[in-house]
Amino acid sequence: MASHSRVTALCLMLAALVIRAVGADEASMLKSCWNAKYNSRPIRFEEWTSGHPVRLYMVDAWWSPRRNSFPLTIFTMMSLDRLNMLESQCRGYIGPISAAVYIPLVLDHDPNLGDDFNTTHDVENGDDHHGFGRNDGNGGGNGDSDSDDDGDGDGGEGDKAATTVLVRRRYIREANRENPVALARAKLKNLFNQMEEEAARAAANKSIPGCCCQLRLMLLAERMSDSPLASIMPTNAMRNAAMLGATTPLSAMLDVDLAPCMNLNALVQNATWVQGISEYTTRPSICIPPAWETKGHLQPSTKNEVVQRAITGTKADVLDMWSRSELQVFQVNVCKHCHKTFDHARWSKEDMPYTVQHTLGFEPWGILWRLRDPGYDERFRGWLYDKQTHVEALARKHRYTFTVLPDLWVLHRPHKKVAIVQIYRKSANTTGEGSGDVEALLRPIVLSNGKNTTVYTAYRHHMDSMRRNLRSSFAAHKPYEPQQNAQFLHCKSVLPWWQQQA
C-alpha cells in the first residue's frame, strides 16, 4: 500500500535513528527530567481511587553505552522479585531492552523513608561489590514472595560467576539490611554490570555465543502513607516510564514473564522484514505475535524445558508441541476471548501477515511505531484491564488495525500467579507461598464514606467502574484521554529522542 517514496523515506529515517549514538548522558537526562516534576507527598489508597496521578521517584537509571544497531526496543516493568526474568529476557534479545523496576515505600513504620529523594545526591553505598542473586531476599518492601523459582532454568552462569554472585550477595545483605532503596539499587546495578560484563566477554571471544541486550534500567520508588497500594503496582505508569527508554523506530511492550522466540534476533537484522513492519506500524497497525504457554499438568522442570524448546525452535517445532499438548494458547483455560482473535489454526498455516478484527477483551502484545504509541492509562494499577485498555484505545480511538505476524511468537514463562490474579480467579491460597500478598489484599479497610470493605473489593470495584466508563465512552465516540503523569509528559517533551515527528 505504501508508495515507493514513502518506503524510501521510512528507510532513511530508520537509518538516521539507528545511527544515533548512545552515550552515558541518557541515564542522567532521564533521571533529571523525571525527577524535575516529582511531588514527594506520599499517596493514599483513596487518593488513587479518586483520580490522583501516580507520583514516582526515579532513584537511579543505568543505560548501556553499547551501540545499538537494531530497530526495535522492548520495554517492560516489574517488581524487584522478577529481576531474574528480566535477566532471561536480556539474555534472549540482542537489541535494547528498557525496564522500569518498582519499589513501594510504605511509611507506616518509617515515615522518613524516601524523604531524601528531593536532595537527589547519588548515594554510592561505598563500593562496587553489590550483587544480585536470583534467590536472595525480597528486599523491596512489598513483602512479595511471589517466587518465580519455578520460572526460568536458563540462568547458565559458570562456576566462577556463581562464586562472585555469592560473595556479592553477602555484601548486599550486610550493607543494606534496613534500607530497601539502597538494596534495590544495589541489585539493579549488579544486574546491569553483569549484563555489560558478559556482553564484553562474548564480544571478545568468538567461541562464546553473543550476549546480551543493551539494558536501560530505571528504579522507581513510590511513597505511600498507607499500605493497600503496595500490593497494587502502578502497572501502567511503570510501562510509560519504561517506554521513555525506547529510542528506536519500533517498540514493543513485553511483560517481563514473556520470552520472544529467538527468531526475533534474525528478523530485526532482516531489512525486508523491518521494512514490512515499518509499513504496517505506520498505517497504523499493531503487529502482534501469538502467545503460548505450557500445559498446566506438566512438572515445573518440564515446563522450563518446553519453554526453552519453543523459544529456540522453529515455527514447525512450536506447532508440533501444540499438537502434542505440551503448549497451549496463552490463557486459553481462563480467558478464552483474550487471545482467541489470533485464530491459531490460521496462524499455523499462514506464512504471510494477516489482519484480524479487534474484539472486546483482546489482549495481545505487539510491535508499534514508537512515536505513535499513545501510551498507557495510568489510572489502571494492578493486574486488571491495564493492557486491554491500551489495546482498546488503539483499536477504537486511534483506529489501529491488527496485523498477526506469521514468523514471530512469544512464550509465557511459568510462575506463581500474583495475589490479585489469584483472588480474581478464585484460586487464592491464604496459607501457602505468597500468602502475605493475598492477605494484604483481603485486609478490611474502612473507606472515608464509612463503607467497610476489603482492599481487594475496593480495588475491584474501582477497576470495574473505570472499565465500564471507558467502554461506554468508546461506544458513544466520546473523547477519551488516558491519564499520564506530569513527569512522563515532561520527559516526553524534552528528551531528544522523543522529539521527532510521528
Ligand X SMILES: *[C@@H]1O[C@H](CO)[C@@H](O)[C@H](O)[C@H]1NC(C)=O
Residues that bind ligand X (CB under 6 A): 40, 118-119, 205, 207-208, 270, 272-273, 276, 407, 429, 431-433, 444, 446, 452
Tell me how far, at minimum, the Cβ of 459 lies from ligand X, in Å.
17
Return all residues near 153 (Cβ < 8 A) that are at least 6 apart. Answer: 301, 304, 305, 308
The DSSP output letter for 372 is: G
Scanning 397-454, the segments in alpha helix (DSSP H) are 419-424, 435-442
CB of 409 to ligand X, least distance (A): 14
Nearer to ligand X, 118 or 323 (CB): 118
CA angle 448, 450, 452 (to 5 degrees): 110
The set of cell numbers assigned to 298 is 506438566
Return phi, psi of residue 39, to 5°. Answer: -110, 115
Give the nearest distance from C-beta 1 to ligand X in angstroms.
16
- Asked if 243 and 12 count as a contact pair (C-beta separation under 8 A), the reply is no
Q: Which is nearer to ligand X, 275 or 483 (CB)?
A: 275
Which residue, 24 or 203, has its beta carbon nearer to ligand X? 203
Nearer to ligand X, 98 or 194 (CB): 194
Instruction: Tell me the C-alpha distance between 162 and 149, whole Å.
Output: 17
Give the position of cell 520470552: 259
Q: How far is the CB of 155 from ligand X (least distance, A)?
A: 16
Reduced 3-state DSSP string for 368-393: EEHHHCCCCCCCCCCCCCHHHHHHHH
CB 61 within 8 Å of CB 27: yes
Asked if the peptide bond before residue 71 counts as cis, ω within 30 degrees of 0, the response is no
Residue 41 or 478: the one with the smaller Cβ distance to ligand X is: 41
138: left (phi over 0), alpha (psi -120 to 50) or beta: beta
User: What's the min distance (Å) between Cβ of 487 and ligand X?
Assistant: 15
Evaluate whether 389 touches 240 at the Cβ level (below 8 Å): no
Whole-number CA gyration radius for the chain:
22
Question: Could you tell me the smallest distance in angstroms from the CB atom of residue 416 to ligand X?
Answer: 10
> Least distance in Å: CB of 429 to ligand X?
4
Taking the complex as a whole, how short is the minimal distance between the CB of residue 470 and ligand X, in angstroms?
31
* Cβ proximity to ligand X, 301 vs 429, nearer residue: 429
Rounded least distance, CB 198 to ligand X, Å: 12
Q: Which three cell numbers stand for residue 59?
A: 532513584
Q: Let me know: does 400 contact 350? Beta carbons within 8 Å.
A: no
Q: Which is nearer to ligand X, 326 or 407 (CB)?
A: 407
Q: Using CA atoms in the order 429, 431, 434, 435, what is the torsion angle rounded to 10 degrees?
A: 80
450: left (phi over 0), alpha (psi -120 to 50) or beta: left
Nearest Cα to Cα of residue 245 among 94, 24, 96, 69: 96
Q: How far is the CB of 431 from ligand X (least distance, A)?
A: 5
Select 161 or 332, whichever has its Cβ closest to ligand X.
161
**Closest CB to ligand X among residues 272, 357:** 272
Query: Among residues 31 and 187, whose Cβ is nearest to ligand X?
Result: 31
Among residues 390, 381, 333, 399, the alpha carbon closest in space to that of 362 is found at: 390
Nearest 5°: CA angle at 98, between 470 and 15?
A: 100
C-alpha angle 478-369-493 in degrees, rounded to nearest 5: 75
Please identify the residue of the shown chain whose CB is closest to the bound ligand X: 432
55 or 381, CB closer to ligand X? 55
Q: Strands, DSSP E only, in 127-257?
A: 214-224, 250-253
Instruction: Give least dist CB 204 to ligand X, A.
Output: 7
Q: How far is the CB of 364 from ligand X (least distance, A)?
A: 19
Q: Are 248 and 97 in contact (CB under 8 A)?
A: no
In the complex, the smallest distance separating the C-beta of residue 8 from ligand X, rounded to whole angstroms, is 18
- Contact between 117 and 40 (Cβ < 8 Å): yes
CB nearer to ligand X: pick between 108 and 433: 433
The vertex-232 CA angle with 230 and 237, nearest 5°, equals 105
Tell me whether residue 152 or residue 407 sits nearer to ligand X (CB atom).
Answer: 407
